[in-house]
Structure 1
Amino acid sequence: MAPARLFADTLVLLRGGGDLATGAVARLVRAGFPVVVLELPRPLVVRRTVAVATAVLQGEITVEDLHARRVDSAATAVRLAREGVVPVLVDPEGATLPHVRPTVLVDARMAKRNLGTHQTDAPLVVALGPGFTASEDCHAVVETARGHFLGRVYWRGQALPDTGTPGLVQGYGRERVLRAPVAGTVQALVEIGDMVQAGQAVALVDGEAVHAPFPGVVRGLIADGTPVPAGLKIGDIDPRGVREHCFTISDKALAVGGGVLEAVLTWLNTQRTAT
């Protein structure tokens, strides 16, 4: 029996459609689960080329073999999800939850704190990263910190605390992240996938330039015209300079997605064993 038929009645809803969330979407859809995504009206996504959230801004986006489309109703979202499309609804408050009625809810907003997710939101509630306690405000937590525990599923306790420092890539850590120097509107000067040199201006925020700290490829850049607060992450430079990496789901996102898929399958197996 095809996986899509096995899991057609197990609807998964993700709150958040960023690059890590998209790793989970990919794992779930490929395994045959229908998936619906809720997003902000103006997603603050940096790795836009590999995030289903970009469908909010563009109407639709294809990430590898995933096709995501912005929709305007819960009914349309559920129908498309069962057809293998990834519907993205603008619903930051989760008002459509009672209408979608997911079997599984995944909080993938990566806020580093709980924005109001409860175990009662769905039969199975999974959360990504720090800010949640498994068995208290959700059923399971998936580790998002790079290292030995990346992608691990915790059924009790918490993920590792946020250090605020990205993992090292060719010796670069914190420097890889571009942040808004002031509050204002972003004006992009380059495109994702462009090669840049050290000191090159990649964007303006309220007229103030944001420069590349070293040579590399622009792996992520927030959408042109996005209003941002000072200090917000608006870009990502990859010193490896591999352009293909800008357009494919990362190893980290797939590892986190694997943890989400494990949590869902483990829970389903437990439910079926219990009956």
Structure 2
Amino acid sequence: APLVIALGPGFTAGKDCHVVIETKRGHSLGRVIREGEAIANTGIPGIIAGIGRERVIHSPASGIFSSDHKIGDLVTKGEVIAHVGETEVHASLDGMIRGLLNSGLSVPTGFKIADIDPRGLEADFTTVSDKAKAIGGSVLEVLDSFLAKR
């Protein structure tokens, strides 16, 4: 391909792709990397309203994931938001569901299955996030530069 753009860690610009876009929140978010790699994945989610790890929910067991909830639902800490097989999955905090697997998927223990935004209604899941805008803007910048040289 004449131009390959990779997002986040796991890719090396100049080897796996032409350009890597940094996806880690912070001062480097959206940085265009033309040589080298993005910051390694720490496994620690970005802090939102002072909360990091607690907002990401991982499967407590292996099995088939199911949930009657949907993205945008408000939940309270301790509420059952899903099941993996017969095992209940509880909300880790009060907030809005921002990420949720589709029911029917088979998941292993420890797999990321949900994300709760502690900002609640303020989260506004119907709009593009600041992170997505930064990454998308960088991709557009790379494409614009590439097309201008053709």
Normalising by the smaller structure, the TM-score range is over 0.9
- 1:249 Cα deviation (Å)? 2.0
The alignment status of 1:191 with 2:42, answered yes or no, reads: no
AA paired with 1:257? G
Q: Which residue of 2 aligns with 1:239?
A: 118
What is the percent sequence identity of the aligned residues? Answer: 52
The alignment status of 1:220 with 2:99, answered yes or no, reads: yes
The alignment status of 1:264 with 2:143, answered yes or no, reads: yes
AA paired with 2:84? V
TM-score by length of 2: 0.94
- Please provide the CA RMSD for this pair: 1.3
- 1:251 Cα deviation (Å)? 1.3
Match of 1:159 among 22, 31, 38: 38
AA paired with 1:246? F
Q: Deviations over 1:53-91 (max 9, x none)?
A: xxxxxxxxxxxxxxxxxxxxxxxxxxxxxxxxxxxxxxx
Q: Deviations over 1:130-158 (max 9, x none)?
A: 11111112100000000001011111111
- 1:250 Cα deviation (Å)? 1.4
Q: Deviations over 1:118-176 (max 9, x none)?
A: xxxx1011100011111112100000000001011111111111110011111110110
Match of 1:173 among 52, 69, 76: 52
- Give secondary structure in 1 for the equivalent of 2:6: strand
Moved over 6 A (4+): none
Alignment of 1:17-96 (within 5 A): none
AA paired with 1:196? V
Q: Deviations over 1:91-135 (max 9, x none)?
A: xxxxxxxxxxxxxxxxxxxxxxxxxxxxxxx10111000111111
CA contact (8 A) 1:189 1:204 kept: no
- Give secondary structure in 2 for the equivalent of 1:130: coil
Find the aligned partners of 2:68 and 2:11 in 1 and give their Cα distance. 37
Find the aligned partners of 2:5 and 2:33 in 1 and give their Cα distance. 10
Find the aligned partners of 2:46 and 2:146 in 1 and give their Cα distance. 31
- 1:244 Cα deviation (Å)? 6.1
TM-score by length of 1: 0.53
- 1:187 Cα deviation (Å)? 1.2
AA paired with 2:3? L
CA contact (8 A) 1:189 1:201 kept: no
- Give secondary structure in 1 for the equivalent of 2:12: coil
- Give secondary structure in 2 for the equivalent of 1:210: strand
Q: Which runs of 5+ in 1 are unaligned?
A: 1-121
Alignment of 1:99-110 (within 5 A): none
Q: Which runs of 5+ in 2 are unaligned?
A: none
The alignment status of 1:207 with 2:86, answered yes or no, reads: yes
Higher share of residues assigned helix: 1
Find the aligned partners of 1:249 and 1:205 in 2 and give their Cα distance. 29
AA paired with 2:80? A
Match of 1:150 among 23, 29, 49: 29
AA paired with 1:167? G
CA contact (8 A) 2:117 2:123 kept: no
Match of 1:137 among 16, 24, 33: 16
